[in-house]
């Protein structure tokens, strides 16, 4: 299977944390924080609190994306390419699920 990634940036193999370790740790932290802010947004009862949380959530989400992009550019994040037939099969499998949504899958 073909991998989608940039060439890996070399990191020293030492017991100390290196750049890749720090970026990976920061990315995991940002992912955790966006999940926590999502829960807080669902439960915010005051409009101004909700707006403040939403602004913080958006900043956190953007930082998560920036860290992901940095790691991908350095070759420390990779994906497996899928062929068009497998993508089409998955699409067809999941497209039928919309009939199970309330209101016939229509957004109200």
Confidence (pLDDT) at 52: 97
Spans of all domains in the chain: 31-75
Question: For the whole model, what pTM was predicted?
Answer: 0.66
User: Taking CA 49 as the corner, what is the angle to CA 45 and CA 51, rounded to the nearest 5 degrees?
Assistant: 110
Residue-level pLDDT, tens digit, the chain, 108 residues? 667 767 777 776 778 888 889 999 999 999 999 999 999 999 999 999 999 999 999 999 999 999 999 999 988 887 777 888 888 888 888 887 777 777 765 544
**What's the rounded Cα separation, in Å, for the pair 108 and 106?**
6
């Amino acid at each position: 299977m073909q991998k989608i990634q940039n060439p890996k940036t070399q990191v020293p193999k030492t017991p100390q944390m290196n750049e890749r370790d720090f970026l990976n740790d920061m990315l995991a932290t940002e992912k955790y924080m966006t999940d926590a802010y999502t829960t807080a947004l669902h439960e915010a009862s005051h409009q101004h609190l909700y707006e403040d949380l939403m602004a913080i959530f958006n900043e956190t989400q953007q930082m998560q994306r920036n860290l992901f992009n940095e790691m991908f550019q350095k070759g420390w994040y990779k994906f497996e390419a899928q062929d068009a037939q497998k993508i089409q099969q998955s699409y067809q499998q999941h497209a039928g699920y919309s009939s199970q949504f309330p209101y016939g899958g229509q957004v109200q």
